[in-house]
Amino acid sequence: MTPEQARNQYDAQGFIHFPGALAGAELAEIQECFERAAKEKALGDLLNREPRFLSLIDHPAWFPAIRAVVGEDVMLRYLTGGIIPARAEIGSGWHCDLSTIRAINLPESIIMTKLFVYLADVPEDGACLAVVPGSHRYQMGHPLPDIARHEDMPHHRKLVMKAGDAVLMSGYTWHARFHNRSDHARKVLESSYIHFWMKTQYELNDFKPEVQERILASHNLRQLFGVQEPGVSDWERRLLP
């Protein structure tokens, strides 16, 4: 999929599925790093625990699409890992993430996008992310239906995933996480991308010297991690071509 096709798909349906975005040795290595971080209860501090995850921030499987969607002033908001245990009734209700934001006409805006990278299969009865395609265009305040079960949402699409798949989703798309009724834990990396003039959850000092060094060595990583550039305003930051 070209970045233009990705942007068109995102504009039309509010999300993009990248099958097999990670595969083979790369997927195995990332899975291993994830397991190590999980064992140390460090899924919230992935970049310090496993600097290997830095390479995912601008990974060629999805970053060209993120760049086409958010624009040249893109910045990372966070990267975190999460596990939903097997047989856990801990789905999230249907919602859109940006319903409390002000001064933005969300159906017209690309203010925030989320990336999910799946490191284990998510079967039909697993903790699937589900979306309502096209809901990112609903007028603000459009009421969510009052429904008792996740599956009662009209027009929803449940995203059954294979390990290595990724999904990019508009923060304004209606979505939910289904209960995990499978025997498989769900393992996912979640990140969010915004514009440079917004607030990232990171400061350079949050990272250990080795990670800081790698961020500082790259123009694009400096931008993605919100590092100021002398003489360049927040409005003017752009990736290298």
Ligand X SMILES: O=C(O)CCC(=O)C(=O)O
Chain positions contacting ligand X, by CB under 6 A? 92, 97, 114, 129, 175, 177
Who contacts 126 (Cβ-Cβ below 8 Å, separation ≥6)? 160, 178, 180, 181, 182, 184, 186
Residue (13 or 223) nearer to ligand X, CB:
13
Q: What SS3 class is residue 106?
A: helix
The CA distance from 54 to 84, in Å, is 23
Q: Least separation, in Å, of the C-beta of 92 and ligand X? A: 4
Q: What SS3 class is residue 224?
A: helix
Residue (67 or 186) nearer to ligand X, CB:
186
Residue (38 or 211) nearer to ligand X, CB:
38
Q: Least separation, in Å, of the C-beta of 10 and ligand X? A: 17
Residue (92 or 201) nearer to ligand X, CB:
92
Residue (169 or 215) nearer to ligand X, CB:
169
- What the block records as the tokens of 217 is 């060595």
The CA distance from 60 to 111, in Å, is 22
- Largest interatomic CA distance in the chain: 54
- Radius of gyration (C-alpha) of the chain in whole angstroms: 18
Q: Least separation, in Å, of the C-beta of 116 and ligand X? A: 6
- What the block records as the tokens of 112 is 């925030």
Q: Least separation, in Å, of the C-beta of 114 and ligand X? A: 6
Q: Least separation, in Å, of the C-beta of 229 and ligand X? A: 30
Residue (92 or 233) nearer to ligand X, CB:
92
Q: 105 φ, ψ to 5°?
A: -90, 95
The amino acid that residue 184 corresponds to is H
Q: What SS3 class is residue 216?
A: helix
Q: Least separation, in Å, of the C-beta of 127 and ligand X? A: 7
